[in-house]
Amino acid sequence: MIKSSPGGALPRAVVAAHADLAAGLIGAVARIAGDAAAERLVPLSNTTLGAAELMDAMRAAVTGADASVVFTDLPAGSCTIAARRVARELPGLAVVCGANLPMLLAFALGTAAPHALVTLAVEKGRAGVLVAEEGAHAD
Amino acid sequence: MPIEVFRIDDRLIHGQVVVGWGQPLDLAFIVLVDDEVAASDWERDLYRMGVPPEMEVHFESVASALTRMAAYQQMPRAGLLLTGDTAAMRALVEGGAPITQVNIGGVHHRADRVPRLRYVYLSPAEEADLRAMAAHGVIIGARDVPAATPVMLDALLAGQGE
């Protein structure tokens, strides 16, 4: 069960990724959906952080934001490993891999309860990956 | 085909390993050598989760890795062996594993460590581990991803990497 937000506040999330990807994605959310939506997302980069430091940073970001969810980039990435370790300490924290812009927009603009919002965000993220044009293939 | 890369990386299995090294070397397996991980079902599941299905992951303690090293060196496709710290890799070298080169892929900031590269920070004990391996004839270089230029041990310890 994903933990609910205190006092009926809209759910918040940490976006954890390599290099500047998290900040870039959240910046794009702000451009598209506005600052209020983007403020529900907290960026975390793994740059220069070892496994233990990254876990400390993840824990601080999650608790500081009172986040219900961590969105990460790669399933095999260090951010995902750290997020899953923190989720083990903080039952109810969801971890979603493969973050993309449609996914984060759905979350940041959504008003549903955390569990429903995660489900919606994952659906939107998956739906956002498609081949829009096949292109010309010589084979 | 033998283990192609012996890597020290405190993040263990992560994006640089699976994608950065795994794809260009067409790695078929990873041997993760860590006593704590090897002893824990939860830790093994954690590291196995994100690895693509075509890549096998073998979890070993230092002792069991030494026992099975010959078998890994005879696998039909290329592999990569990972330790999370210099001490485990040194134990493998001193235990007789046929290691001729070691890649330092990531040893990140900690209070007792000195920065050597953007992704390599070393404590005095870790420097001693690396020097001990070098004394065994192991060629040691730091390189986070295959496309990077390796920084060899002398330059690394002299702080001439970047």
Note the pLDDT tens digit of each residue in A11-49.
999 999 999 999 999 999 999 999 999 999 999 999 988
Q: Give the count of beta carbons closer than 10 Å to the beta carbon of residue A63.
A: 14
Kindly report the nearest CA distance between residue A78 and chain B, in angstroms: 5
Please answer whether residues A13 and A40 qualify as being in contact, where contact means their C-beta atoms are separated by less than 8 angstroms: yes
Res A136: pLDDT: 77
User: In this prediction, what percent of chain B has a pLDDT beyond 70?
Assistant: 98
Query: Which of the pair, A8 or B108, is modelled with greater confidence?
Result: B108
Res B9: pLDDT: 96
For an interface test with B, which of A21, A81, A89 has the most B Cβ atoms less than 10 Å from its Cβ?
A81
For an interface test with B, which of A78, A80, A84 has the most B Cβ atoms less than 10 Å from its Cβ?
A78
Res A8: pLDDT: 62
| pLDDT confidence tier of residue A76, bands split at 50, 70 and 90 | confident
Res B162: pLDDT: 60
User: Among A18, A49, A84, whose Cβ lies nearest the Cβ of B15?
Assistant: A18
Average pLDDT score over chain A: 92
Rounded to two decimals, the pTM is 0.86
CB contact under 8 A, B19 and A80: no
CB contact under 8 A, A76 and B14: yes
Res A1: pLDDT: 65
Instruction: For residue A50, give both structure tokens.
Output: 């070892």
Please answer whether residues B115 and B126 qualify as being in contact, where contact means their C-beta atoms are separated by less than 8 angstroms: no
pLDDT (tens digit per residue) in B32-66: 999 999 999 999 999 998 788 999 999 999 999 99
| Residue A80 pLDDT > 70 | yes
Cα–Cα dist B32/B30, whole Å: 6
CB contact under 8 A, B18 and A76: yes
